Every structure is written in structure tokens, then in C-alpha cells.
Structure 1
Amino acid sequence: MKKFLALMISVIVLVSLIGCASSNQKGNNATDNEQNTPVTGDQTGSDSGEAKLPSPTIKEGPIKIAYVPSVMNVYYDQVLSGMKEEVDKLGGNGVVEVLIHAPTSNETTVNEQINIMENLIPQGVDVIAISAESDEPLTTLLKKAAEAGIVVFEFNMPTVDLTSEYYVSNIGYDQFEAGRLIGEWAVNHFGDKPTKTAILEGFPGTLNTQRLEGFLKGIEGHDNFDVAFSQTANWTRDDGQSVTENMLEAHPDIDFIAGLYDEMSLGAYNAVKAAGLQDKIVIAGYDNTEAGYDSIQKGEMAMTVDNGAKNIGSSIVISAYQYCKQGKEVERVIDVGSIALDKNNINEFDTDSYKYVKQEPVPNYLQD
């Protein structure tokens, strides 16, 4: 009887072991099948299945930065100047190389940037620095860039997803706050005087909305400001002039014109001067372009807001170098700040900020 029970126990154990072995073999086969399946972005990175931004690295050799503004204009030329000067200080293109990939028109920015990103990702650049009204339309491409090991910096982008794992930093300034500074300046300038106000807006969108809402916040609670006119002038001087000409026919008693970009404000001044109203109507601008600066110096435009365009460019290159060459983490949000400029402080502004100034290499630059 004992021998029979022992035999039965042995058979049961053997069957159990065979069952476990069969079960384990099936598990291994499943794993093999998973390993043979091409890995997609949804399967890489974190445990949640999301592709993640490449970690800080210490890269040998030069790093290539693809510069992708929303369009090339005066402002983005200033940003580029800041980038080029930092490259000079670091030792030139043998250390950091900046490649310009810019859309040709504001009207086609989103579609062109999508095409640019799709072409850049397989080219093996190290960094993409991109500006847009929002990063939402670019999310899929930002994810692909992360999967390809490309580090992304967003700049001058008013709406960003701060939870996104696809970019390192958002570098820029607060569009709302810069707009608010125009309103604050106007309140200080006009005091309690009844002020009939016109606003020249840019293209409809987030950028325009934040600037506009900031301005309205700046004059909030001051009932002497009557906003009698608000219309787009498409960010351009020509449209700023034509829109203002039409506006003056309907509202010849306007006291104050707030342009949400200097170029529109400069066009407004041309229209105001042609109407002989330059001594009556006060004009404010935004972004402190060189032409805007000159206009204030001549007593034409009354004020503008500087938003540190060149500092943004400097910050892009410095942050990219620290992240990709020195293996350092960088700030998630880098705000270069804004300042209102008028006849009282315009001479304090460094006009070299409008242009590229060749720099000499700086030994041990950015080294601890």
C-alpha cells in the first residue's frame, strides 16, 4: 500500500511539473512574439506606454540645432541673432551649428511646420527649437522626435502643454503680461482723462487673444477708457495704415491707438500723420522692433514693450548646450520677461539687441 501511494505521489508531482513547464513555455513564446513585434512610440518610454524625451546627455562632437520659427520676420531675426552670438562664444559651428528651417508665410505656418518637422526627424539633428501659437497641432511630431532621440525646445509659444514629456523647456515671455503693460502704461499716461481707444489686432488666434486680453486687463476698472474700435490689421505696417485710415473716418475723435505689434502701430502713425492728427492721437506698440525704437526717439510712437527677443535666442543655445553637451537638467519654463519702454527710459535699451554682433570665443564658457 505504501509503495502504491508513493508511486501515485510521484506521478502527480511529475504531471504537475510537466504542466508548469508547459505553462512557462507558453509564456516564453508569448514574450518572443512580443519581442519580434516592431516597437512603436506607444510602446517605448514610460510604463504608461508614452514615448519620452531623451535624457540629458554628454554628446561628443558638435550639436545641430534646427531653428523652426513660425515665420522669419524682424522679431525672429532678433531671436536668431541671440543664438548666433552664443554659438560664437562657445567656439563656433564646430561646437554648435544652427540650421534655419522657417515657414514662408503666417497664413501657412502650421502646415509648413508639420512638413518641416516630418523632414527634419530623419535627418539626425540633435535639437529642434520650434515656435508656434500652440504645441497641440504638433503633438504627434513632437512624439516622433522624442522617439528619434531628438531634444525639443519650444519658444515664444503662448499655449503649451506643461504635462508633455516631448519637450525640455518652454522659453519665452508672458504674452498676457506684455499686453497688460500697455494698458498699465496708458492708465498712467492718461490718468482720469476720457480716452477714446482703438485697438489694432493681429491674426485671430491664441497669440492675439492673450495680448488683447492682457491690454484689457491693464485698463480694467478705469471707466474713462472707451474702446470704440478693435479690428485686425494682420501684424503688418500696410494693414495697420489702411485699417487706421478707415477707422479715422468713422472715429476722428480717437485719443489712443494700441497696436499689438510695432509694425501695425507704425502703419497707424502714417495714417494719423496724413490726417494731421499726430499731435492729438497717442500710439502704443508691442515687441520693441528697431523701427519702433526709432519712432519713439523721433516722438512719433509713444511707447512699446520689449520682450527680450535676443535673450530668447541666447537661452535656446545655452539650454541646448547644457542639456546635450553637459548632461545637465534645465528649467522647464524660462521667462525672459517684458518691460515697457517710452521716452523716459528708451535710451537705456541696448540697440545691439536688434542685430547680430560677432563675438569672440570665450574660454571655458558655461563651465562650472
Structure 2
Amino acid sequence: MKKMYASLTVIMAIVLVLAGCSTNSNKEAGANNKGDGTGKITIGLSVSTQNNPFFVTLKDGAEKAAKEAGATLVVVDAQDDTAKQISGIEDLIQKKVSVILINPTDSDAIVTAVESANKANIPVITVDRAANGGEVVTHIASDNVNGGKMAGEYILKALGDKGNLVELQGIAGTSAANDRGQGFHEAVDGKDGVKVIASQPADFDRAKGLSVMENILQGNKDIGAVFAHNDEMALGAVQAIQASGQKILVVGFDATDDAVKAVNDGQMAATVAQKPASIGETAVKTALQVLKGETVEKSIAVELELITKK
């Protein structure tokens, strides 16, 4: 009997030790997470699309920071497909990466992937667009609400607080589209003499920006300005406007190379400059802090500025 009690005591002690290990905080998990057990830090980056120059630059910034830190960056391209993004993140989880950076295609749909990473004890950081659920260590992005407001205020000043406005929205459900739209409407709604006559999605895509703007122009001949939630849609709108022979002020968002050139050439009036390379670099540097067990802010903002013709 004494031997039986002794055995039970040992078993109970083992159970208690294991239970204690399972209650480690995320901070401790981050500090001890060395990926596949080789000791090398591997950072996963799930990007919404590599067809958009903004996200290519963001990826380049992340790669630069990872290389400087001696870490490996594994990039998966969702190609603006939510199912493909979730699958790509599952692959990163299977590879036992140390931390996952996620630029969601859809802030709601990405929640299941974030939760999968949480279950695997892999820290998650969202980049440019937020996730509407799951446990995220921090969100790194420009202040999109403020950026939309900057665009709206610039348009009001340029038009003298009067005129018909068009809004080209990004992908429905993304935090970037929601926030930029919110800021824009905070600036222009309720102003006497100003009316948003069309607010339609063009999914952050240049070709869709062109086709949506063509349709809007067919039904509206008195448009003062267009605000597009990103430069790709803005550049598509510029094509449609030029073909129509009208003169309409166009403001974009991102300050991609093509858009800045269009501003300097007088084809676009302005673009709100995010700094995608800085967002990517900041994401990687923050990931390394998390893996060291350091405390980081729940939201990290990257500077914005309005770019107009030099």
C-alpha cells in the first residue's frame, strides 16, 4: 500500500507540473518561441496581395529588417483571396514559425486563422489592416481615420467647401476601408454645399476603379472631386476621367510611386502618404521585441503626410 501511495504522489506531482507549464502567459510563450526548435527565429508574413505596389514595398521593408536582424522571413501571398490566406497561415503554423505577421484580406474572416495561431501558441501581429477577433499582440498601421480626414479636409479647401463628391471604397470588411471612409465622412458630412453623390466599392483595384468611375461618370456630370481609399483605385479613376474629358480633382491614399508621379504631373491632386516600408520594418522589429518577452503597445501608429504637387 505504501508503494501505491508513493506512486500516486509522484503521478500527482507530475500532473501539477504539467498543468503549471500549460498556464504560461503569452509573453513567456513569445520569449521562448524559437520556431522549429533550431533556435533560429523565423517570422511568417501573410500579405493580402503582391499585385499592389503598396504591399510589395511593405514586404520589402519587412525583409530588410529581418535580414539585418539575422532572422528568416517567410512570405505567403493571399492574392486577395480569404480562403487562400487562411490556408497560407495554416502552412506557417505547420512550419512552426516564431511569430506571424498578418495583413488581412478581410478583418472578420481572418479571425479563425488568428485563433489557430493562438492555439499553436504563436504570437500574432496585424499589419495595416486589423483583425476583428482572436488574440493579437499589437496592430501596426497608419492612422487611417486621420488619413481619410486629411483627404476630406484637403478636398473641402480645394473646392471652397462646395461641390459633389465621389468616394471609391476599398474591400468591404477591411479595417483600412472602414477607417479611411470614416475619416473622410467626418470631414465632409454635414457641410452645406457639399454632397457625396456616390460611394461605391472598387476593392483597392485599379481596373475596378476605372470601371466603377466610368459608370459613375455616365450618370453624373457635375463632380467636383473623387476620394479613393487607395492609389490604385485613384489611378483607375484618373483614366476614366481623362477619357471623359472632364476635369475632376482626385485624391488617393498610399503615395505609391505611380501616384506620386501622377500628382507631380497634375493628373492627381494629392495622395495621403503612408510609409509601407516603415510599416514592414516596424512589424519585424516589434516581432523581435515580442519574442524577447518585451512589452509592446497594443497599437503602433506609423506617420502619415499629405503629398501635393511640388
What is the TM-score normalised by the length of structure 1? 0.72
Deviations 1:61-95 (A, max 9, x none): 431111101222211111111112223433xxxx2
Letter in 1 for 2:156: V
Alpha-carbon distance in structure 2 between the residues aligned to 1:271 and 1:136: 32
Q: Hey, what does 2:129 align to over in structure 1?
A: 157
Is 2:74 the partner of 1:99? Answer: yes
Give the SS at the match of 1:231: strand
Give the 5 Å matches for 1:204-353.
Answer: 204-207=172-175, 208-277=177-246, 280-324=247-291, 326-344=292-310
Alpha-carbon distance in structure 2 between the residues aligned to 1:159 and 1:256: 31
Does the Cα contact within 8 Å between 1:44 and 1:52 map onto a contact in 2?
no
Are the structure 2 counterparts of residues 52 and 210 from structure 1 closer, same or farther at C-alpha, using a change threshold of 3 Å? same
Alpha-carbon distance in structure 2 between the residues aligned to 1:202 and 1:322: 32
State the 1:151 CA deviation: 2.5
Partner of residue 58 from structure 2, selected from 57, 72, 79: 79
Alpha-carbon distance in structure 1 between the residues aligned to 2:256 and 2:103: 18
Does the Cα contact within 8 Å between 2:209 and 2:236 map onto a contact in 1?
yes
Q: Hey, what does 1:45 align to over in structure 2?
A: 23
Q: Hey, what does 2:43 align to over in structure 1?
A: 65
Does the Cα contact within 8 Å between 2:43 and 2:98 map onto a contact in 1?
yes
State the 1:180 CA deviation: 1.3
Are the structure 2 counterparts of residues 159 and 142 from structure 1 closer, same or farther at C-alpha, using a change threshold of 3 Å? closer
State the 1:329 CA deviation: 2.6
Are the structure 2 counterparts of residues 167 and 209 from structure 1 closer, same or farther at C-alpha, using a change threshold of 3 Å? closer
State the 1:134 CA deviation: 5.8
Deviations 1:215-253 (A, max 9, x none): 111113422211112222232222222222222221111
State the 1:200 CA deviation: 1.4
Is 2:35 the partner of 1:56? Answer: no
Are the structure 2 counterparts of residues 239 and 138 from structure 1 closer, same or farther at C-alpha, using a change threshold of 3 Å? closer
Are the structure 2 counterparts of residues 138 and 220 from structure 1 closer, same or farther at C-alpha, using a change threshold of 3 Å? closer
Give the 5 Å matches for 1:10-21.
Answer: none
Alpha-carbon distance in structure 2 between the residues aligned to 1:306 and 1:328: 30
Q: Hey, what does 2:103 align to over in structure 1?
A: 131
Letter in 2 for 1:100: V
Are the structure 2 counterparts of residues 200 and 75 from structure 1 closer, same or farther at C-alpha, using a change threshold of 3 Å? same
Which stretch shifts more, 308-317 or 221-230?
221-230
Alpha-carbon distance in structure 1 between the residues aligned to 2:114 and 2:167: 35
Alpha-carbon distance in structure 2 between the residues aligned to 1:167 and 1:148: 13
Letter in 2 for 1:45: T
State the 1:135 CA deviation: 5.6
Unaligned runs of 5+ in 1: 1-20, 345-368
Does the Cα contact within 8 Å between 2:90 and 2:113 map onto a contact in 1?
yes
Letter in 2 for 1:291: D
Letter in 1 for 2:152: G
Alpha-carbon distance in structure 2 between the residues aligned to 1:44 and 1:143: 17
Which stretch shifts more, 307-316 or 224-233?
224-233
Deviations 1:38-62 (A, max 9, x none): 98xxx9437xxxx846243496843
Are the structure 2 counterparts of residues 136 and 265 from structure 1 closer, same or farther at C-alpha, using a change threshold of 3 Å? closer
Alpha-carbon distance in structure 1 between the residues aligned to 2:199 and 2:86: 32
Give the SS at the match of 1:203: coil
Residue correspondences, number: 301
Letter in 2 for 1:112: K
Letter in 2 for 1:256: A
State the 1:197 CA deviation: 1.1
Alpha-carbon distance in structure 1 between the residues aligned to 2:304 and 2:273: 6
Alpha-carbon distance in structure 1 between the residues aligned to 2:68 and 2:90: 31
Higher-Rg member (1/2): 1
Structure with the largest fraction of strand:
2
Are the structure 2 counterparts of residues 247 and 139 from structure 1 closer, same or farther at C-alpha, using a change threshold of 3 Å? closer
Letter in 2 for 1:101: V
Q: Hey, what does 1:203 align to over in structure 2?
A: 171
Give the SS at the match of 1:239: helix
Partner of residue 113 from structure 1, selected from 65, 78, 85: 85
What is the TM-score normalised by the length of structure 2? 0.84
Alpha-carbon distance in structure 2 between the residues aligned to 1:189 and 1:143: 46
Give the SS at the match of 1:285: strand
Letter in 1 for 2:84: E
Give the SS at the match of 1:186: helix
State the 1:206 CA deviation: 3.7
Unaligned runs of 5+ in 2: none
Identity of aligned residues (%): 28
